[in-house]
Structure 1
Amino acid sequence: MNPAERVPLGRTGVHVTRLGLGLAPLGGLFDPVDGDTARATVERAWQLGIRFFDTAPLYGNGLAERRAGPVLAAKPRAELTLSTKVGRLLRPGGDDTGGIWAESTGLTPVFDFSAAGVRTSYAESLARLGLDRADILHLHDPDEHFDQTVAEALPALVELREQGRVGAVSAGMNQAPMLTDLVRTGELDAVLLAGRFTLLDQSGADELLPLCADRGVAVIAGGVFNSGLLADPRPGARFDYAPADQHLVDRAVALDEACRRHGVPLRAAAIQFPLTHPAVTSVLIGARTPAEIGDAVRMATVRIPGTLWSNLRADGLIR
């Protein structure tokens, strides 16, 4: 895998690098990150050839966008591919960290999948970032808001695309079934599938990935470490934002041992596995330090023998 390779995002004119930087950790995911370190992490990613950066208002309740924005705004705009998300507005009057954001902002995310909410969210994201447009705009976690998303939010995104204010319309979720329903509307250019096509969970391959491959909808794979368990398989490691159950720890340890027998770090296998499916265009990696993004780029370039995947399947560790 060449992490700096630029490839088309489905049938759009947007291009992404095979490896992208997800900015959630820079919003203080689980642990605080100082501003200088956050900016240095984005800068290091750029130095290593990464040109695709994904953020959201939710990430640190605005912190990730504010921290990354000045670095990205200083880069050649034609080389940069930026995605952000809509569906939550940040409003004062509370300090809702959701139990996962370590830093206080005094803001609370409020779901809003109305057309006006989409337009407001996008404008406020651009203001925090200090940029005039994003290349990809994702509907963010519409799990409990499907009807309004289809009736109001999605048409608003399509209008932004038709106006040339975004290059691609997408949806990002931690589940595959609703993404499948959204792809069937015929309006999405891409999906961001978090944690559902990994070494521990391949449920995205049931319907979503084949449908995307058939329709030319690009899949961006996120959450490839499943919140950390596949980066460091041990008791107490997180899976989907919570401490992992023991049976998941045992599976991750077995995956680690199998990878070691092939001379492959588990982190490398976790990063590269999603690209074994033809529907997957790019992999997003979260990092909170320059060292972490440097490690991710190294892991992305590790040569993985095809026998590893076949042996993992034969052993029942992946489908």
Structure 2
Amino acid sequence: MRADDLVPLGRTDLRVSRLGLGLASLGGLFAPVSEEAAAAVLDRAWHLGVRLYDTAPVYGYGRSETRTGAALTRRPRDAYVLCTKVGRLIEPGGPDTQPIWADPPAGVGPRLDYSYAGVLRCVEESLERLGLDRIDVLHIHDPDEDFATAVGEAYRALADLREQGTVRAVSIGVNHAPVAARFLREAAPPGPDCVMLAGRYNLLDQTGLDELLPLCAERATAVMVAGVYQSGLLADPSPDAPHGYATVPAQLADRVRALRKVCRAFDVPPLAAAVQFPFGHPAVTSVVVGARAPGEVAETVKFFNHPVPPDFWPAVRAAGLLSERVPTPDARS
């Protein structure tokens, strides 16, 4: 398995690369990114074979979509799969602002809107920012913010767009696996084609396995996994590192240390283990990882393609870091 391998996206006719590029950073997540740097990130990803790109209106309040479209309009439209999201409109005075975006466009902000009309408007505005004629995968972003409207009106709008050909696959983007499982069960048939699950199926958190991943496998619903580095904790667990934890819980810190010890014994970089782990589950199609510099893209591809010895995953399990119910990539080789 390599980062640039193309595989079917569940039951759709789309084919995606095993590694996808998350584009929140290009909207200025936590720190500014220049237009030139954003273009360089997308160009490096393209040259390394990445053909799955994931953005959203809320990423930099439209900035990520604009930069993504500017880079991808130079590429053959049928040669890549583009994902964006609905559920937040970007408009003057939008109140749903977040401090995580550095130097956002002045005077505008997000407003939650999962209504049928709001979703159609969101898609129209995304297409304008992207400068493209269609979106391949459309996620309902954080449906738990207004679940009843999201599973009703927003899903109905996306299903209609799928029927019309404006959208080729309907999805949901979630941080909580039970929300996704409930959505799959309550959405009108045939339901979403795929799910993007962030932070709930990685080496430190396998709660996605409780209900969601078996349900997706049963329904041939593809899963894109994000957050495989656990907010950066697996990259650098030191207290002053930018890993999203003000204080790392002691039990979690112990797990990270134990994992890094096994990785050293097998000469496997921890991030190589992290980016390859989700593919042990048959429902997982792709892993999506962000980058804010071309070198980070190249590093992720290197980790994805890094050889992992056949005895590595049994050693991780023997160290008590994975339960017997958790499938590992060696079981599918």
The TM tier, using the shorter chain, reads over 0.9
Give the conservation status (yes or no) of the 8 Å contact 2:96–2:112: no
Once the two structures are TM-superposed, the CA of residue 188 in structure 1 deviates from its matched residue by 0.7
The whole-number CA distance in structure 1 between the counterparts of 2:5 and 2:20 is 11
* Contact map agreement 2:173 2:195 (CA 8 A) in 1: yes
**Which residue is 2:166 aligned to?**
165
Q: C-alpha separation between the residues in 2 aligned to 1:27 and 1:129? A: 13
Change in CA separation of 1:191 and 1:89 when aligned onto 2, cut-off 3 Å = same
For the aligned residue pairs, the C-alpha RMSD in angstroms reads: 1.4
TM-score normalized by the length of structure 2: 0.92
Give the equivalent residue in structure 1 for 2:284.
280
Runs (4+) off by over 3 Å: 94-97, 236-239
What CA deviation, in whole Å up to 9, does each residue of 1:152-199 have, x standing for no partner? 000110000000111100000111001001122341100000010001
Cα deviation 1:230-283 (Å, max 9, x = unaligned) = 1222213455x4435242333223212211111100010110011111110000
Aligned partner letter, 1:178: V
Match among 242, 245, 248 for residue 245 of structure 1: 248
**Aligned residue for 1:123?**
124
Question: What is the aligned partner in structure 2 of residue 306 from structure 1?
Answer: 310
Task: Please report the TM-score for the alignment, with normalisation by the length of structure 1.
Answer: 0.96
SS in 2 for 1:21: strand
Deviation at 1:94, TM superposition (A): 5.8
Greater mean deviation of Cα atoms: 37-46 or 121-130:
121-130
AA partner of residue 297 (structure 1): V
Q: Distance in 1 between matches of 2:30 and 2:304?
A: 25
C-alpha deviation, 1:144, in angstroms: 2.7
Q: Secondary structure at the match of 2:144?
A: coil
Structure 2 unmatched ranges of 5 or more: 324-333
* In the alignment, structure 1 residue 208 sits paired with structure 2 residue 209: no
- Maintained 8 Å contact 1:20/1:50: yes
* Equivalent position of 1:290 in the other structure: 294
- The answer on whether the counterparts of 1:259 and 1:266 sit within 8 Å (CA) in structure 2 is yes
- Structure 2 counterpart of 1:67: 67
In the other structure, the counterpart of 1:222 is 226
Out of 294-303 and 251-260, give the one that drifted further.
Answer: 251-260
- Cα distance in 2 between the residues matched to 1:156 and 1:177: 23
Following the alignment from structure 2 to structure 1, what is the Cα–Cα distance between the partners of residues 164 and 87? 20
1:28 aligned residue: 28
| Residues 87, 140 of structure 2: 8 Å contact kept | yes
Q: Which moved more, 1:230-239 or 1:259-268?
A: 230-239
Q: From the superposition, tell whether residues 34 and 201 of structure 1 become closer, same or farther in structure 2 (CA, over 3 Å).
A: same
Quote the residue 2:259 is aligned against: 255
Gaps of 5+ in 1: none
Letter of the structure 2 residue corresponding to residue 16 of structure 1:
V
Distance in 2 between the 1:213 and 1:237 partners?
A: 36
Number of equivalenced pairs: 318
Summarize deviations over 1:177-224 as a string: whole Å, max 9, x none.
010011223411000000100011000011100110111000000111
